[in-house]
Amino acid sequence: MAKKAWYSITVNAQADRPVVEIRIYGEIGFWGTTAEAFVAELDAAAAGGADILVSLNSPGGDVFDAFAIYNALLRYASRVTTRVDGVAASAASLIAMAGKPTIMPENTQMMIHNAWIITGGTAEDLRTTAEMMDRIRDGVVAAYSRKSGLDSDRIIEMMDATTWMSALEAQALGFCDLIEEPVRLQMSDSAAAVLQKHKNLPDDVKAMLKSLEEDEPEPTPDPKPEPAPAPAPPADVPTASALAARVYAFCRQEGIADLAEGVLLSGALDSLELADQRVTQAKEIAGICLAAKLPEKAAGFVSAGLTVDQARARLFERVVADAGDPINNRPPTNSSAPKQSGPNPLAIYAKRKALSAT
C-alpha cells in the first residue's frame, strides 16, 4: 500500500536558509498514515531552525489529524508560511490558519464548514460523539477567529452555511494575508472525488473539476499492465465514537474529566491503547502543573500534544519568567565578612603624645 499519499516533507538546503517544504495534496489522514507520523517527520526536519513552507491542495479529511498538524505548526510560530495551491477545504483550511503569512493565488479557493462524522452505537455512544463534535467545533472556531479576527458568532454562521471563499474574499475576511498571480489548478482523482461531495461548490471549482475530466488522457489501446499487488487489509482502527467513549470514561476514572477534550484534540488517536497512553500522560501533565501552581496550563499542554518533558520545560520557562529577578550563577558577595583594618592615625598620634610626656 502506498505510504504518505497525502503529504510529503523535504528539506531544501540550497538556499541561504534551509526551508522545510511540505506538500499536503490529498485527503488528510488517508492511506493509514496519521498526523502522528507527519508531526514526527516535521519535528525532525525543522529541528535545525529552518523556515517551513506548507503547500495545500486538499479537499479536507480527518479533523483530528488536521488539529494535530495545526498545533504542531503553531509551535514554530513565525517560521511557518502556508500557501493554497488549489483548494484548501474543510480540515485543510484549518491547517492554512497556522501560516504567518497565509498566501493564496488569485484563482484558488478556501472552504470552511462544520465537521461531520460517520458513527454508530448505542444512544449513549451517539450522545458522546455529538458532545465530542461540539467540542471539536469550538476548537475550530477558535482557530479561525484567531487568524481572521472575526468573532465566534460570525465564524459559526459561516461554518453552518458551508462558506467558500475566493482569494479576494478570504483576504477581505482575514483568512488570507497575501494574494499571488493565478496558477494552473490540478488535483488527484481521489481528492477531486471527495471535493465533489462538498456543498455549495462555486463555479470556479466546478470548472476546475470539469477541466480535470477533460484533460484525462485517452487509454492506450490493448494495455498490458502488470498485475497490481493485493492491497493490505485495513488496520483495525476503532471508530471515533469508541475512542471518545474510552477517553471520557478513563479521564473520569483518573479524576481528570476536564482534560478529556484536550486528549481528543491532541490528534492521531488510531487505537484504544494509544488513547489510554494519552490519558495517562495527561494525568502526569496535570500533576506537574498543579505542583507548579499553574493548573490552568494543563488543558492547553494536553491539546497541543506535548509530552510530559515538554510540558515540564514550558512550566519551567513560565516559573522563571514570573520570578522577575534574573538568574545569577556567580557566587554571592559576603558583605558581612570582616574587612582588614589598616593603620589608625589617631591611635598613633595618641601613643606618641603619651611617650613624649614621660
Burial grade of 11 (CB within 10 A; 0-12, 13-18, 19 or more)? middle
**How far from chain centre, in Å, is Cα 95?**
7
- Among 300, 238, 298, CA closest to 273: 238
- 58, 90, 148, 266: which is the annotated catalytic residue? 90
Residues 6 or more apart in contact with residue 171 via CB below 8 angstroms: 104, 177, 178, 179
Residues 6 or more apart in contact with residue 208 via CB below 8 angstroms: 86, 87, 185, 187
Instruction: For 252, list phi and psi in degrees, rounded to 5.
Output: -65, -40
- 55, 113, 166, 303: which is the annotated catalytic residue? 113
The secondary structure element, H or E, covering residue 9 is: strand 7-12
> Is there a catalytic annotation at residue 198?
no
- How far is the C-alpha of 226 from the C-alpha of 164, rounded, in Å? 42
Contact 132, 67 (CB under 8 A): no
Give, as one character, the DSSP assignment of residue 41: H
Sign for the CA dihedral angle at 207, 212, 218, 222 comes to negative
The position carrying cell 502522528 is 36
Give the other-Cβ count within 10 Å of 108's Cβ: 28
- How far is the C-alpha of 160 from the C-alpha of 157, rounded, in Å? 5
- How far is the C-alpha of 210 from the C-alpha of 142, rounded, in Å? 35
Cell numbers at 198, concatenated: 462538498
- How far is the C-alpha of 102 from the C-alpha of 284, rounded, in Å? 36
Residues annotated as catalytic are 90, 113
